[in-house]
A = this chain, B = another copy of it.
């Protein structure tokens, strides 16, 4: 019951960039240090974010990364989709396929409410909403 490290890192990275507008570009080295993410793993994730068009990268000396769109346009669920998380809304908590009115898994009824809440949270939370938080390790 936890998000993939990749997803967690991606949210923290995008969230950090979105809420520190002083600089126009952030490079991998400083992001890795500030956010306590292994450098090489971070660069891999950045490439994913570039390919998914959430981030624009500037290569070469003095290059770096920046958001490709306004923070208010990026929802958490879109970030999760990059890593194929939480895509199967219909998937039941016991992983036995689609749960509907006819076929319910053992926990179906009890899972609906929290599932909908989480889904709503991920859909409605944008990078803008994540402002003013700590990003380092607690």
Q: Which residues of A contact B (CB under 8 A)?
A: 1-3, 5, 8, 11-12, 15, 36, 76, 85-86, 91-100, 103-108, 110-111, 113-114, 117-118, 121, 125, 129-130, 133-138
Residues of chain B lying within 8 A (CB to CB) of residue A110:
121, 125, 129
Residues of chain B lying within 8 A (CB to CB) of residue A94:
3, 8, 11-12
B113 lies within 8 A of A117 (CB): yes
Copies in the complex: 2
Q: Whole-angstrom distance between the alpha carbons of A111 and B136 in the complex?
A: 18
A114 lies within 8 A of B106 (CB): no
Residues of chain B lying within 8 A (CB to CB) of residue A95:
2-3, 5, 8
